[in-house]
Structure 1
Amino acid sequence: MSTVRMRHLAEVNPLTPAFDRLANEDELTFLPMEAVWPGEKLDISRCRTKASVATGYTRFQDGDILVPKITPTFEAGRAVLIRGLHRGVGTGSTELHVLRPGPRIDPKFLLYAVNTHSFLKNGEAEMYGVAGQQRVPDAFLRDLPVQLPSLAEQRRIADFLDTTTAHFESLISKRNSQIEGLAERELALIVDMLSGSQKSGKGKPTGWSWLPEVPAEWSVGPVYAYFSTELGKMLNADRASGPNQRPYLRNANVHWYTIGTDDLATMDFSADEVSRYSVRRGDLMVCEGGAGIAEAAVWDGRLQECYFQKSLHRVRRAGPVPVEWLMYWLRLAKACGVFEAEGNIATIPHLTGEQLRQCRIPIPIDGDSLVKRTGEHIARLTAVRTKLTRAQILLAERRQALITAAVTGQIDVSTASGRGIGE
C-alpha cells in the first residue's frame, strides 16, 4: 500500500465549468450548511437560479465530495459524496471544501478516508481563525497523506464499509427518532407554559403564528422593560498579555440549558470593566451569533469569578419576570425559525443587542411558578436525552473506529466481518 498526497488523487476546490455553461435563468441545487448531512439526512431538494447564486457561493457537481471546513461541523464528520443534483450542478455555503476524485481513487473510498479518526483530529489541529469560527485550510487537504491500496481493494473496502456501517446507521437513526421525540415533548411543554394553556377564559392574540394567543390578563412587552442586557467584551490582540487575566465565557461554552467551563480562556479585564463584564449566579447567557444563535442558559455561579466575551449577551432580571421565562421563549422562537438569516443564506445570522432588547415576549402574572413547574419536567426529559446522546456518541466512535481500521489496512476486509468492532 503506497502513501499519496491528496493533491495527486483529487482536485481540491476546483473550478466547475458545468456551472458556467448554465443560462442565468436555469435552476440548480442549492445546499446551505444545515442541509449537509451524511446518508438519508442529506437534503438536495432546494433550488436557485444561476443568476441568484453567481457570486459568493461554493460550486460543485455530481460525484464531488463536500467537506465542511468550519468548526464544529467539520469535527462532526459531515462529509458527503454528492449525487442527484438538479442539472448535475450545485452551489452552497462558502464553508464547504470540494474534493473532486481523480482516476486513481474510488469516490466512496475517498469519502471514507475523510471520515477517519486521524483525518478529523489532524484537521482540527490545523484549524485557523478566532474561537468559535475556526476553519480547516485548503493546504491541509492538498497535503493530506492518503494510504492508497489498488483500485480493486479500494472498492472492496468501500463495499465492506457500506454493509457494516449500515448496522450503526440503523441504530443511530432509531436513537435519533427517540431524541427528536423528546425534543418535541420539550417544545410542547414550553408552548403550554408560554401560552398559558392551563388558564381558562378568553385569550389575547399575539400576532405570532407560532404562539398565537396568551391569557387575556397577561401583557406582551419588550425585553428591555423587564430585563437588563449587556453584550460582552470585544476580543483584541492584547487580551492575553494584560496583567488582569480572568476567565471568560464565549458562545462555544453556552448551549441550551447548560454552560460548559472545561475549556475557558482568559482575557485582561481592567478594574473599571469588572462590574460591566462579570457574570453572577442567575444571569442568563445568550449566544449572539453563529450556529448557536439565541441558545441560552442560566449561569449557576460555579466559579467565584467569571466574565463574558462579545459573542454573548448577559441578561439580568429587572422586574417580575424570571430570566428562565425568556430562555424558554428563545428556545421556542428559535425552533420556529424566528432567528433564521434572511436574504443571503450563507450569512451567519446575529442577534444584536438592540434586536434582543426589542423582542416582544408574553408577560405572565405568575412567571416564577410556571417556570419552576415546566423546568422540572424539562429537566427529566433532558436527563433521558443526555443518556441517549451519550449512547449515540459511543456508536459514532465505534463506527469511526471501523472506518479507520478498514481504510488504513488494520483489518483485512476480505475476511473480517466488522461485527467485533461495532458490538
Structure 2
Amino acid sequence: MRASFAPVWKVAEVNPATPEFKSLADGADVAFMPLEAIWPGANCDYSRTVSWSRKLSYTQFRRGDILVPKITPTFEAGRTIIAEISSAAGLASTEVHVVRANDGVDPRFLQYTFQSQPFLDEGGHSLQGVGNLRRITPRFVQEYRVLDLSCEDQSRLSDYLDQETLEIEAIIGRLDDLAGMLRHREAVVRTRLVCGISDSQEVFRVSAHSPLSGTPEHWDRTKFGYDFTESTERNGDDPPGPLLSISEYRGVELNTRTDGQQASLDVSKYRVVRPGQLAANMMWLNHGGLGVSSLTGYISPDYKAFWISDRFEPRYVHHLFRSSRYIDYFAAIATGVRPNAQRVTKTVLDATPVPLPPLDEQIRIADELDEATARVDAMLVKVADLKALLLERRAALITDVVTGKKEVS
C-alpha cells in the first residue's frame, strides 16, 4: 500500500504560545537551552538555567516540545531534540523553532522526521538569508510533509529507532573516548619529551611562576622575549598566500571553515605568516592556539607571528608550546573577564620562562615527537572515519523508517 503524508501543521503547532510564563514570577529559575547546548542524545546539556524576566527575548517552550535549530550550519547537522527539561517551561535560543505535537501524536516520531535526510535536504534548499546566517522559515516547517500514521504506529517506529540509535550512539561514545585517550597519551608523551621529565616525575603539575620545574640541569634557560621577535609584516595590497587558521589539534593550517568568523573583504591589515614562524592566537593560548607554520599565508590581525632565533629548532618550539605544561601555564597567566576570552599579553608572554636544550637534543626530541604524533594522527583519522560511517548509518536508518521505506515489525 502506498504511504500517505500530511503537512506538519495537521499534527503539531509550530512556534506556539507558552501560557505557563504568564503566571511565572520574575526571578524564578527556568531551564535555558542556548544553541550550543542542543545536541541529540547524551550530548544534550540540560544543566543551564536563567532567571525569568519579562524583558527577556528568548524563545519560550514547554517541557516535551521539539526544538528545531533554524540557522546554518546547526540546522544541517540535524540537531533537533525533544526538550526533556526539569522545569515545566524553559527558554531557548531565538535560533530555534518550537514544534509542539498535538494530542495523539508521538513527538519522538516528529523529532526523527526532523533529523531525516529529506527534511535536511529540503530545508537546505529553502534557507533564506545571506552568507552564514541563513535560516529555515516557520512556513517550511509547517508545510513539510510527514508520514501519516496512527499514534500506535508512530510509537512502534519510534521505539525501534530509540533502540537502534541508542546502540549506534553508544559505539560513537566509545570512539569519542578512544580519541580522547589517544590525545591524552599524545599530550603526556609530548610534555615528557619537550620538558625533559622522567617517568617518575609529575607531568602536568605546573607553577604559575615557572613551567621549568623538572627540566634537566644541563639545559639552559631563556625567556620568550629574548628568542622570539614579533613580526610586523602585513598583507598590504598583495597577500603572499591564503588565509590560515590555528587549530588546537593541528596548529597552523589552511582555513577551510565555512562557519564562524571569516576574513573581511579588506585583508590588507591581516598579519603575514612565513614558514618557520610561530603564530599565536593570544586569546586561545590556554587551548593550544599556537604553532609553528609550514605555510606562507595570513592570519587575523588580532593574532601574532614571531621569528624564532637560531638557538631553537622550530619543530621543538611547536611541540614545546603546545605541551600540556605550557597550556596550563598560559591558563595561569592569562587575564580576562570571560572564561573563553582569556588573553595573554605580549608583555607577560615575553617574560615567560623557556627551556633551551642543546640544539642536537631539540632535533632528537622533535624527530621522536613527529613520529609519535604521526602515529596518533593516523589512528585518529581511522576513528573519525569509523564515526562518520556510523553517523551515516544512523541518518540512513532514520530516513528509511520515517519515510516508510523500511518495514518495522
Distance of 1:129 and 1:293 partners within structure 2: 31
Quote the offset at 1:388 in angstroms.
Answer: 0.7
Tell me the equivalent position of 1:402: 397
Task: Tell me the secondary structure at the aligned position of residue 248 of structure 1.
Answer: coil
Quote the offset at 1:268 in angstroms.
Answer: 7.2
Tell me the equivalent position of 1:363: 354
Tell me the equivalent position of 2:303: 313
Letter in 2 for 1:22: L
Quote the offset at 1:106 in angstroms.
Answer: 2.3
Contact kept in structure 1, 2:82 and 2:111, CA below 8 Å: yes
Contact kept in structure 1, 2:61 and 2:98, CA below 8 Å: yes
Contact kept in structure 2, 1:12 and 1:142, CA below 8 Å: yes
Tell me the equivalent position of 1:50: 52
- Shift of the 191–67 alpha-carbon distance from structure 1 to 2, 3 Å rule, reads farther
Quote the offset at 1:173 in angstroms.
Answer: 2.2
Task: Tell me the secondary structure at the aligned position of residue 170 of structure 2.
Answer: helix
Tell me the equivalent position of 1:206: 207
- Shift of the 206–77 alpha-carbon distance from structure 1 to 2, 3 Å rule, reads same
1:24 aligns with 2:26: yes
Contact kept in structure 2, 1:186 and 1:381, CA below 8 Å: yes
Tell me the equivalent position of 2:160: 160
Contact kept in structure 2, 1:190 and 1:332, CA below 8 Å: no
Contact kept in structure 2, 1:25 and 1:49, CA below 8 Å: yes
- Shift of the 230–288 alpha-carbon distance from structure 1 to 2, 3 Å rule, reads farther
Distance of 1:329 and 1:154 partners within structure 2: 50
Distance of 1:281 and 1:213 partners within structure 2: 31
Contact kept in structure 2, 1:33 and 1:92, CA below 8 Å: yes
Question: Structure 2: where are the runs of 5+ without partners?
Answer: none
Distance of 2:403 and 2:347 partners within structure 1: 53
Letter in 1 for 2:177: S
Tell me the equivalent position of 1:421: none
Tell me the equivalent position of 1:257: 250
Write out aligned runs for 1:324-339 (5 A): 324=318, 325-328=320-323, 332=327
Write out aligned runs for 1:141-220 (5 A): 141-142=140-141, 145-152=144-151, 153-192=153-192, 196-198=196-198, 206-207=207-208, 215=215
1:248 aligns with 2:242: yes
Quote the offset at 1:365 in angstroms.
Answer: 1.2
Quote the offset at 1:160 in angstroms.
Answer: 2.0
Say which of 372, 376, 385 aligns to 2:380. Answer: 385
Distance of 2:348 and 2:28 partners within structure 1: 41
TM-score, normalization by structure 2: 0.72
Distance of 1:378 and 1:136 partners within structure 2: 40
Contact kept in structure 2, 1:254 and 1:285, CA below 8 Å: no
Distance of 2:275 and 2:56 partners within structure 1: 47
Letter in 1 for 2:355: P
Letter in 2 for 1:66: L
| 1:5-62 deviation per Cα after TM superposition (whole angstroms, max 9, x unaligned) | 44554444444333453333432333444443322232323444335x9636444331
Distance of 1:286 and 1:44 partners within structure 2: 34
Contact kept in structure 2, 1:231 and 1:310, CA below 8 Å: no
The count of residues paired between Structure 1 and Structure 2 equals 387
Distance of 2:44 and 2:35 partners within structure 1: 10
Quote the offset at 1:384 in angstroms.
Answer: 0.8
| 1:306-364 deviation per Cα after TM superposition (whole angstroms, max 9, x unaligned) | 64364873533343564513344699459979999956x9xxx5577x85775575422
Letter in 1 for 2:47: S
- Shift of the 357–14 alpha-carbon distance from structure 1 to 2, 3 Å rule, reads farther
- Shift of the 202–116 alpha-carbon distance from structure 1 to 2, 3 Å rule, reads closer
Tell me the equivalent position of 1:418: none
TM-score, normalization by structure 1: 0.70
Write out aligned runs for 1:91-170 (5 A): 91-103=91-103, 105-125=105-125, 126=127, 128-130=129-131, 133-139=132-138, 141-142=140-141, 145-152=144-151, 153-170=153-170
Task: Tell me the secondary structure at the aligned position of residue 114 of structure 1.
Answer: helix
Distance of 1:395 and 1:335 partners within structure 2: 37
| 1:51-82 deviation per Cα after TM superposition (whole angstroms, max 9, x unaligned) | 5x963644433112233445544433332212
Letter in 2 for 1:17: P
Tell me the equivalent position of 1:79: 80
Distance of 1:124 and 1:94 partners within structure 2: 19
Quote the offset at 1:380 in angstroms.
Answer: 1.7
Question: Structure 1: where are the runs of 5+ without partners?
Answer: 235-241, 415-423
Between the aligned residues of both structures, percent identity stands at 26
Task: Tell me the secondary structure at the aligned position of residue 28 of structure 1.
Answer: strand
Quote the offset at 1:247 in angstroms.
Answer: 6.6
Contact kept in structure 2, 1:294 and 1:330, CA below 8 Å: no
